[in-house]
Chain A
Amino acid sequence: MVLELKKPRPVWQIMFSTHHTDVGLLYTITGLAFLFMAGVLAMMIRTHLFFPGQGVLISDSVTFNRIFTVHGLTMLFLFALPVANGVGNYLVPLMVRYKDMAYPKLNAIAFWMNPVGGVLLWLGFSDTSWVSYAPYSVIRAPGPAADMMIFGLKILGISSILSSINFVVTILKCKHPDLPLRKVPLFAWSMMTVSLMTIVAMPSYAAALIMLLTDRLGVSGFFNPSMGGDPIAYLHLFWFTFHPEVYIFLLPSIGMMYEIIPRFSRKPLFSQGSGVFAFVMLGLIGFASWGHHMYSTGMDFTTKVVFMIGTLAAVPASGMHVFNFLATMWGGRIRFAAPMKFAVGGIALFFSAGAGGVLNSAMPLDFISHGTYWVVGHMHLFLTGTIAFGFVGMVYYMFPLITGRMYSEKLANIHFIGMLWGSVQVFYTQHLLGLEGMPRRIYDYPAEYTSWTQLNQIATIGAWILGASFVAFLINLIYYSAKGKEANMDDPFGLGGKYYYPHQAKNPHHIGY
């Protein structure tokens, strides 16, 4: 067990360790730190949009553009991926009953690329928007910022490929011989699925980044129409990576819910088989739908139909997960401690995000929704409503395991209610803003559109509630990890029995363990 704060160690020992629990801890802390940094940027964006007019909070549009770019990049690459990898590092070796990750040094290297990439992204503060569509990112995006973003993302991409290789090898080659693959816990299955997806998807974006860089240097013209290139090629390369990437962000969160829900329902999982099947299906079908991001780029009817079918095909598999969760809860005796609350809230919002996704994939509705705040609301409902809910639930779940202390359930309640309320208020309202026609990524909107102003103000208040709830989270993380009540390590959540940690981590640095 890793009792970091009950049995303190010098910080360098954790930093230079290659043990999976230490690397997992570093990943998780880095991810959460970047969550709060990018959250501050989000609060700035929302506060700025409270009133129409320029200079409400942010004095010029370049700064605004830079802020939403870095907010997006940080949340995706420096929060979602590291936290998933952190929890994966903690649990996957234990779940497959191996002493460590397959390549411990590679693991540490993959982690240490994250701060480097993060520093490049934050010092560059590029204004290309996180998608950095060519040719804007080639011919107009200002100087070293965009190049630093390209290098930062390059490093983060390599890092995620390395850690993916590590997970795949750990699960497939280092798993205990007595443990058949189909019985591997579903969280480990989700990590394996997303790792395989990363290995397939990421090279396309890596290539696109290199091409973008050489285009920017002027030695090539892959995406520059004035040199015979085609911007649409960039979109294909980009979305071929980033539609699967959506599932790469999502599936670990689903896997975490698979860890939390049966345990707090005091009941076996409804069906391991359908969970595995749905993970594999999503892993495959995730690659069949990237084109739905490009309906409006002049795609012909047949191509649109193909991508619409590919998108809709992912729904039954997602539905199987939801069914599995609900059927597991059915007939249980559920204890609603913080992790379970977040897991259930995550499932509820997962459904509404998914329903919005079905609407998005219907071809004619693209005229209404694409490029508006509808899309912003939709993908934030996934990223905050589902992914962050799962991650936060898992952080609460592992809190006693990591610190040996208990978080404050009262603060966790405030966090949960604020996060659920805030997410619904801000992201549902953004859907409505999209229907009113408000484009995304705008610095200012005309004051005469009163409905935009009103909806923006509702959304901003929701965002403040969401942001305030994370203050409760921060207090829980910092104060209660040092001063909280000591946890009953056999059964910290009072579920009865000695089954909270079926998998025990042994860190050689902990004397006495």
Chain B
Amino acid sequence: MKRIIAVSIIALIALALVPSIHFAHAQEKSAKQYINLRAEVWNEFFRMTTAAFTVGAVVSGTMIWLVWRFRESHPKNQTPTRWEKLDDPTTGNYEKEGH
């Protein structure tokens, strides 16, 4: 498990860095006398979308896993939650022996 987490974190960092390397190179070529306005702005855009899609992958991955794992039809999910013996489970709490 730890290895998977470490590898995925490294992969995410690499993903975040790749576009900046690539576009820094593209910038060098076009910048002559003035800064290249559209390259600057679009580079910023691609950096931001990389960040957004990285976070989005984590969030939507978590959501898909949650929906898959905690659906009531999941085999590991046959026993009622410890709050279901209450009249209203939503009024329970997270103390050790939920009452």
Contact = CB atoms under 8 A, between A and B. Distances in A.
A and B touch in their complex, CB below 8 angstroms: yes
Interface of A: 262-263, 265-269, 322, 326, 329-336, 344, 347-348, 351-352, 355-356, 358-359, 362, 364-365, 367-368, 496-499, 502
A269 B90 contact: yes
Contact of A267 (B45, B52, B71, B90): B90
Contacts of A332: 70, 81
B83 interface: yes
Specify which of A267, A330, A497 lies most central, judged by the most chain B CB atoms within 10 Å of its CB: A267
Contact of B60 (A269, A348, A499): A348
A266 B81 contact: yes
A327 B92 CA distance: 15
A266 B89 contact: yes
Given A326-B62, A367-B41, A368-B41, A268 B92 contact: yes
Nearest to A500: B88
B77 to A, nearest CB: 5
A384 B42 CA distance: 28
B41 A330 contact: no
Contacts of A368: 41-42, 45
A364 B41 contact: yes
Interface string B85-99: 011111111100010
20 contacts: A265-B70, A266-B81, A266-B84, A266-B89, A267-B81, A267-B92, A268-B92, A326-B62, A326-B63, A330-B66, A331-B81, A332-B81, A359-B49, A359-B52, A362-B44, A365-B41, A365-B45, A368-B45, A497-B89, A502-B90
A415 B42 CA distance: 38
Given A268-B94, A352-B56, 18 more contacts: A267-B81, A267-B92, A268-B89, A326-B66, A331-B70, A331-B81, A333-B70, A333-B80, A336-B71, A347-B63, A355-B55, A359-B49, A362-B48, A364-B41, A365-B44, A365-B48, A496-B80, A499-B90
B48 A333 contact: no
B45 A358 contact: no
B45 to A, nearest CB: 6
Nearest to A355: B52
Interface string B37-78: 000111011001100100110011011001100111000010
Contacts of A352: 56
Specify which of B56, B70, B86, B90 lies most central, judged by the most chain A CB atoms within 10 Å of its CB: B90
Nearest to B91: A268
Contact of A333 (B59, B62, B84, B93): B84
A369 B32 CA distance: 27
B90 A329 contact: no
A267 B44 CA distance: 42
B70 A329 contact: yes
When A and B form their complex, which 10 residue pairs have the shortest distance between CB atoms, in order from nearest?
A499-B88, A355-B52, A262-B90, A268-B92, A333-B72, A266-B89, A364-B41, A334-B70, A329-B66, A359-B48
Contact of B90 (A268, A330, A351): A268
Contacts of A335: 72
A358 B52 contact: yes
A332 B63 CA distance: 13
A121 to B, nearest CB: 36
A496 B60 CA distance: 29
Specify which of B56, B59, B62 lies most central, judged by the most chain A CB atoms within 10 Å of its CB: B59
A288 B81 CA distance: 42
B68 to A, nearest CB: 10
Contacts of A265: 70
A351 B56 contact: yes
Given A359-B48, A359-B49, A362-B48, A333 B88 contact: no
Contacts of A330: 66, 70
Contacts of A266: 80-81, 83-84, 89
